[in-house]
Structure 1
Amino acid sequence: MREPLFLIGNVNVDLVMGPQEPWPQPGTEVIVPESEFRVGGAAGNTALALDVLGVDYRLIASRGDDMLGRWLAEPFGARAEAWTVAEGATTVSVGIGHPDGERTFFTTTGHLHSFKLSDVLSQLEEAGDGRVALLVGPFVIPALLADYDELIAILRRRGYRVALDTGWPDGGWTAQVRTRVAAWVGHCQHVLVNDIEARGMTGADTVEAAAAIIRPLMPDGASLVIKCGPDGALAWRGNEHVAVPAPKVDVVDTIGAGDTFSAGYFASLVESSDLARAVTNGVTVASLAVSTRPRRYR
């Protein structure tokens, strides 16, 4: 995969604060020791890591028509020039940290709710030529989600190799959502999900059982990667199975860990098709990211 990676999905503003425990009473004010204002969203997190890792990519996204939207685009320079500018405010996600490293999020609707298929196509090259199109954050982009089946079909017709990181659906893994995602998976050369998502999308009790359900849905030669947080990651491709443990680190911030894993995974595939190497690089990059502040990727 030496051609640019096309990254399609959600970029928004993150305000991360905390840690805080217990949850405060309504009407009170709480002073927290730390805050950070940064680029976020699954596509944003992945893109920032790809930048540092030196991977050539195209970022297909949008922003709001406001001060935060201009700030959001600034780190991406020329890559953000083609972004759709939505009327109104930029989406903001406020993450309240807890002492165990977990977060509670409050997210506004904002520009992500108007990002649609025509916006993607206006930024997408006609000829895919076998390049990877990584789709992330579908369930937080409702207008695009409505046409996700068509988006995947268009990518396939144009010659892109589709990669998918589902995220967690609003409303959970209903029977309807499972059926729809299963149809997407049938067109993907790479599926990257975390262990909870894998069990949710299949109803399986274990990661291995979930993989046994997902893999037959995928094309021949496709790769399934299940990210298991502090336990590392598992992957399958054909008859190949890879299990990579994560190093023990002092966790500082878990936001976007799975997104940075994806960046490390695809950064490795730029140089080699070695699945074990790609998964190992994903685990290494994510482990460094969650254990450093300011965040580091290499």
Structure 2
Amino acid sequence: MDIAILGRIGYDLYSEEPHVPLPQVRRFSRYLGGSSANMAVGLSRLGASVGIISCLGNDSLSQFLLDFLKNEKVDTARVQTKPGFLPSLCLTEVAPPDRFPQVFYRHDAVDTLLTSQPGDLDYVAQARMFITNGTSLCASPSREATYRALERAHKAGCRVVLDVDFRAMSWPSPEEAGLAVRLALPFVDVLIGNQPELMLVAGEPTLEAATEKLRSVPVLVSKLGEQGTRVWTGSESVFLPPYKVEVCTTIGAGDGFASGFLYALLQGLPIEECLHYGNAAAAIVVSRLSCSEAMPTMAEVRALLNAQRSVATTPE
């Protein structure tokens, strides 16, 4: 298996009424959500063999999510079932190009009940890359299961990736979230976060101070929003501005970027080329509605890469 992912599988409802405030929306479309699940779909569509470790209920919503992952060729053999508990729910208002308010329901979310089952750690150790996120550290027993998986993946020589994925409603305080991620850093090879997330993890008031403090992570990915992305590898850094597309919704851009970037990294491509793959995947996702179903195929990513490079090399 190429990639094992540990983290939340969520249920998303997106408004079908653009520019209507969320309290007035009457029509929604359902999708699979959750950062880890989105990345699992994204990486699978790009051609990686992917398995996910998570926890769902025995309800009809959980069944929809499980069926969706299976249809996307994501291995769900390590998805646990906790009867009586529900997946997290997210409702999203859609008002392009820059307004996408969300409401999260995560009280006793079933993903926080993940435990280390026999075979889970061996499953992780057999992968070439292990991916998890900060939300998996927000509560017990998923926190302990995540730390154990990080430790085992690191010991097995997997390339370990942690996406900060800070969700305020999941934590008693931002400081507790930052500490939980800092404790995981000794096991991490690739740390991904936006500007506030990296400042949170480092406990620093500026991005410059945060990146300096986190530079010990072999690959530090700093997502700069509409400015682009900078990746630090030791003392060296590579920057790439985002691809310009017509935006439908920015929700899922980070998961799309991570899918493209990490797939290219798994193939051993140079960091700058990995950024191009990440940018292309993110651009395609933001041009569509939803996260999971918006994830592109490799043919779509390569088509956009070729189109962007053609424009860049065309003389004025």
TM-score, normalization: structure 1? 0.84
8 Å Cα contact 1:10-1:44 kept in structure 2: yes
Identity %: 23
Q: Please tell me the residue identity of whatever aligns with 1:138.
A: S
Listed as ranges, the matches of 1:7-26 within 5 Å are 7-17=5-15, 18-19=17-18, 24=23
Structure 1: gaps spanning 5 or more residues: 25-29
Q: Which moved more, 1:125-134 or 1:226-235?
A: 125-134
- Aligned match of 1:271: 267
Give the whole-Å Cα distance in 2 for the aligned partners of 1:39 and 1:188.
Answer: 27
8 Å Cα contact 1:233-1:245 kept in structure 2: yes
Give the whole-Å Cα distance in 2 for the aligned partners of 1:58 and 1:263.
Answer: 14
> Once the 2 structures are TM-superposed, how far is the Cα of residue 205 of structure 1 from its aligned partner?
4.2
> Once the 2 structures are TM-superposed, how far is the Cα of residue 126 of structure 1 from its aligned partner?
5.7
Which among 149, 160, 173 is matched to residue 147 of structure 2? Answer: 149
> Once the 2 structures are TM-superposed, how far is the Cα of residue 37 of structure 1 from its aligned partner?
0.4
Which among 229, 242, 247 is matched to residue 225 of structure 2? Answer: 229
8 Å Cα contact 1:19-1:96 kept in structure 2: no
The secondary structure found in structure 1 opposite 2:40 is helix
CA shift in 2, pair 1:228/1:247, >3 Å: same
The secondary structure found in structure 1 opposite 2:249 is coil
Listed as ranges, the matches of 1:161-172 within 5 Å are 161-168=159-166, 170-172=171-173
Q: Please state if 1:83 is matched with 2:76.
A: no
CA shift in 2, pair 1:127/1:110, >3 Å: closer
> Once the 2 structures are TM-superposed, how far is the Cα of residue 154 of structure 1 from its aligned partner?
2.7
> Once the 2 structures are TM-superposed, how far is the Cα of residue 203 of structure 1 from its aligned partner?
4.0
Q: May I ask how many residue pairs the two structures share in their alignment?
A: 283
CA shift in 2, pair 1:205/1:110, >3 Å: closer
- Aligned match of 2:100: 102
Give the whole-Å Cα distance in 2 for the aligned partners of 1:185 and 1:150.
Answer: 13
- Aligned match of 2:35: 42
The secondary structure found in structure 2 opposite 1:84 is strand
Give the whole-Å Cα distance in 2 for the aligned partners of 1:187 and 1:275.
Answer: 21
Give the whole-Å Cα distance in 1 for the aligned partners of 2:288 and 2:30.
Answer: 16
Give the whole-Å Cα distance in 2 for the aligned partners of 1:139 and 1:103.
Answer: 24
- Aligned match of 1:173: 174
CA shift in 2, pair 1:258/1:180, >3 Å: same
Q: Please tell me the residue identity of whatever aligns with 2:110.
A: H
The secondary structure found in structure 2 opposite 1:61 is strand
Give the whole-Å Cα distance in 1 for the aligned partners of 2:123 and 2:89.
Answer: 33
Give the whole-Å Cα distance in 2 for the aligned partners of 1:130 and 1:82.
Answer: 13
Which among 47, 63, 77 is matched to residue 70 of structure 1? Answer: 63
Runs of 4+ in 1 over 6 A off after TM superposition: none
Give the whole-Å Cα distance in 1 for the aligned partners of 2:78 and 2:220.
Answer: 31
> Once the 2 structures are TM-superposed, how far is the Cα of residue 160 of structure 1 from its aligned partner?
2.7
Give the whole-Å Cα distance in 2 for the aligned partners of 1:171 and 1:277.
Answer: 39
> Once the 2 structures are TM-superposed, how far is the Cα of residue 70 of structure 1 from its aligned partner?
1.3
Q: Please tell me the residue identity of whatever aligns with 1:71.
A: F
> Once the 2 structures are TM-superposed, how far is the Cα of residue 139 of structure 1 from its aligned partner?
4.3
Give RMSD over aligned pairs: 2.5
Q: Please tell me the residue identity of whatever aligns with 2:233.
A: R
The secondary structure found in structure 2 opposite 1:125 is helix
TM-score, normalization: structure 2? 0.80
CA shift in 2, pair 1:190/1:285, >3 Å: same
Which among 280, 285, 298 is matched to residue 289 of structure 1? Answer: 285
Give the whole-Å Cα distance in 1 for the aligned partners of 2:68 and 2:61.
Answer: 12
